Structure 1
Amino acid sequence: MSRPPPARRSEFRVWQRFTTRWADNDAYGHVNNTVYYQWFDSAVNAWLVAQGLLEIARGERIALVVETGCTYNAPLSFPGMVDVGLAVTDLGRSSVRYVLGIFALDADVAAAQGHFVHVLVDRETRRPVPWPDNWRRALETVRASSQ
């Protein structure tokens, strides 16, 4: 089984920085794999909120995670800072595929990389709805350059 090459910083469009916490380290002395998924979720949703798209408590539309995955390239640990890069690779009628890279501070090669798929749904019915124009425009601004 072959692995994709580690992602580079240049592949991502927007960034979020997080501090590792003492509780993030597992018994093996590195950040536990579940924390990477928390960083993915936080980076995507923080960007959506900052764009004025996602109203977590009262919005008519919400984005549900339907798929996620991660490949680990190098360990991270507390104490430290990580940069999480975000880009969009696929934008459908009501779904979007984000790619994410987690980088040690000042590293050019990702310690981990993954993907995160959202489907936009009506808050009440939980049925998919098409992207409103403002969402689609914002998502297009972070489309990966190879698209």
Structure 2
Amino acid sequence: MIEKLGRSAYPRIRALPTRWADNDIYGHINNAAYYGFFDTAVNCFLIEEAGLDIHAGAVIGLVVETGCNYFAPLAFPETVEAGVRVARLGNSSVSFEIGLFRQGEDDPAAQGRFVHVYVDRDTRRPVPLPDAMRVALAGIAG
């Protein structure tokens, strides 16, 4: 079992509304939807604070590993608060940790991880992280 990290472990928190379609037949958010929350929280940070240009930038991030631990169910119409932090900052890779919380709660409902490798958009070969991105990512390292 992984160590559960409280809200204070995450330097960035983003509110994400759930959608009716996120619920499954069992009345809670389906496990696949959690990955959409992770992806949205990480990419919002990258676009808004780290200078990632998803449409025309020379460097893009590819997901090479993901994982999630579930602790408590979430359900529509809750607002999920996603905490983001960097667990490891490499030369061309970044390991993100994401905590999903019920609005205002400190204990996570789920914790996930994403590993991105940054590559040249055209060649798809790994490249060093751009300096501005590295600075922004270092600012949320846990």
Q: What TM-score comes out, normalization by structure 1 length? A: 0.94
CA contact (8 A) 2:50 2:132 kept: no
Partner SS for 2:13: strand
Aligned partner of 1:53: which letter?
Answer: G
Distance 2:50 2:114 in 1: 20
Report the aligned-residue RMSD. Answer: 0.8
Distance 2:32 2:66 in 1: 12
* Unaligned residue ranges in structure 2 (runs of 5+): none
CA contact (8 A) 2:19 2:76 kept: yes
The alignment of Structure 1 onto Structure 2 pairs a total of residues equal to: 142
The equivalent residue for 1:108 is 106
The equivalent residue for 2:34 is 36
* Unaligned residue ranges in structure 1 (runs of 5+): none
The equivalent residue for 2:67 is 69
The equivalent residue for 2:93 is 95
Partner SS for 1:134: helix
**Deviation at 1:6?**
2.4
Cα deviation 1:73-110 (Å, max 9, x = unaligned): 00000111010000001011100000110000111100
Distance 2:72 2:108 in 1: 8
Q: What TM-score comes out, normalization by structure 2 length? A: 0.97
The equivalent residue for 1:11 is 9
Distance 2:95 2:135 in 1: 15
Partner SS for 2:55: coil
* Farther off after superposition, 124-133 or 51-60: 51-60
Structure 1 residue 143 corresponds to structure 2 residue 141: yes
Distance 1:135 1:102 in 2: 24
**Deviation at 1:5?**
3.3
Structure 1 residue 131 corresponds to structure 2 residue 129: yes
CA contact (8 A) 2:84 2:99 kept: yes
Distance 1:6 1:73 in 2: 9
**Deviation at 1:52?**
4.9
Partner SS for 2:99: strand
Distance 2:50 2:86 in 1: 18
Identity %: 51
